[in-house]
Structure 1
Amino acid sequence: MDGTTRKARAWLVGIAALCGVWLVQNGSATQLVPPQPSTAEAFASGPELPAGSPVAEPLHPSEPVRIRIPGVGVDAPMMRLGLGRDGSLDVPPAGNRNIAGWFKGGAPPGAKGTAIVAGHVDNAQGPSVFYALGSLKKGARVEIDRKDGRTAVFSVDAIEVYDNEDFPDQRVYGASAHASLRLITCGGGFSQQTGYLGNVVAYAHLTEVR
C-alpha cells in the first residue's frame, strides 16, 4: 500500500466513526437503511471501462468546488480534506448534511489518476449527501465543477459494496492511466453497536469536459 492509499484508507477509518449515527439513535428498521447496490451494478470481473464508452483526455489539475449527481439528487459544495495530528485524514463537518470532501493528497477530479471523493451517509439529524449512493446505476452521470471554470463529467462504471475487513485498497485507490473517480460512503450491513459494517464505492471515468 503506497502513501496515498494509506492516507485515503485512514480517511475511511475516520468517516466510519461518524456513519450510522442516525440509525443508532432511531433503530435499524429496514425502511431507514440506505439503498445498497445490486450485483448487477458490479464489475463483471476486475475494474474496467465499459466497451465503447468514451474516454476524455485528462485535464490539468484544478481544485473541485461542487459535485452534482442528478440520478440521486446530489448537488453539494466540496471541501479539501487534509491530515489530522494523528496522521489520519480529516472528515467533512458532521453537522453539515450536504457537503462532500475531496482527498487533496491525491489527484483532483478530472486530472490524470484516481480522485477520491467521500461523503457521509447520515448524521444525527438524518440522511446526508451520499445517502442514496448505493442506488446509482451504471452509466449515471457525475458532474464536478472546478475552480478553472470547467466541469468534469464522469460516467459511472460500477457500484460495489465491501465489508470493512475485505476492503480492496488497490482496487479502489490504485493508479489509473486516465481520469478516474471514486465516490465512497458507508454501507453494507448495519450493527446497532458499531454502525455500518462496510463501504459503498462508485467507480467512474471522465467522459466529457464542459
Structure 2
Amino acid sequence: MGAFGRMDITVKAHTLVATRWTWGTQYAPERRWVDGWGTEVETPVVIQLLDLVAAGEVSAKDARDALAAAAAKLIRTHDPDEADPREYAAARCYGDCERCRARRPEFEAIHARALVEKAKGADTLTYPYAVTRNGLHRSDCPHITDTISHIRGYEMRDLKSFVHEDEEHSGWAAFSTFLDRNEAAAWVAERCGPRGGRQYRLCRICSPEHP
C-alpha cells in the first residue's frame, strides 16, 4: 500500500507549499533508473514549475533538481533500504539484471524438473509413490496432489524471487519426486540403517504401503 505526504518545494526564490506526494504505488519498469522512481506528485505542481520555467524565473534544471530532491526525501522516509546499492539494484530488477541472467539456467532447470514431476504425478499407476525430503507418500496423497497442482509456467518475477530472495515457490518448483515401485523400494533401502532402523517417515495422511 502506498504512503501519502505533503512537503514544501523551494526553487530559487519560489516556494510551492504543501505539495501532495504519493510513494509506493507506481513503479514503471521503463523508468526504473530515473530519479524519483516509485513516487508521484500532483499534476498542478508540475504545471506550476513549468510555468516558472516558461517565465524565465527558474531553469529547467532547477525545476528538475527540486522534484528529484523532494522525491528522494520521500523515498528515504519510507524506504531506507534504497540507500543500500544492492537493495537499490534488486528493487529495480524485473528478472533481467546481471545476477538473474547468470542464474537463469539454474532456475530453468528447477522449473523443467517441476514440469516433469507434475506429468509423472498424473500417472499414478506407473508412479504410485511420491517422496519428499524424508517422507514416503502415495502419489495420490492430498498433500502431494495439492502441492503439485500449483506448478505452472514461470514469470520473470519468479526468477527475481529465486535470485534475490533465495526463494523456491510451489508455482514453479517441485518439492516432491514421483517414483515407480522399484525406485521407491530403492529409496527406502537407502534410508534403512544396518539394524533396520528407518531414516524416513510414512505419511500419516495417506498411509502408504511399503514398496
TM-score of the alignment, normalized to the shorter chain, above 0.5: no
TM tier relative to shorter chain: under 0.3
Structure having the higher helix fraction is 2
| TM-score, scaled to structure 1 | 0.20
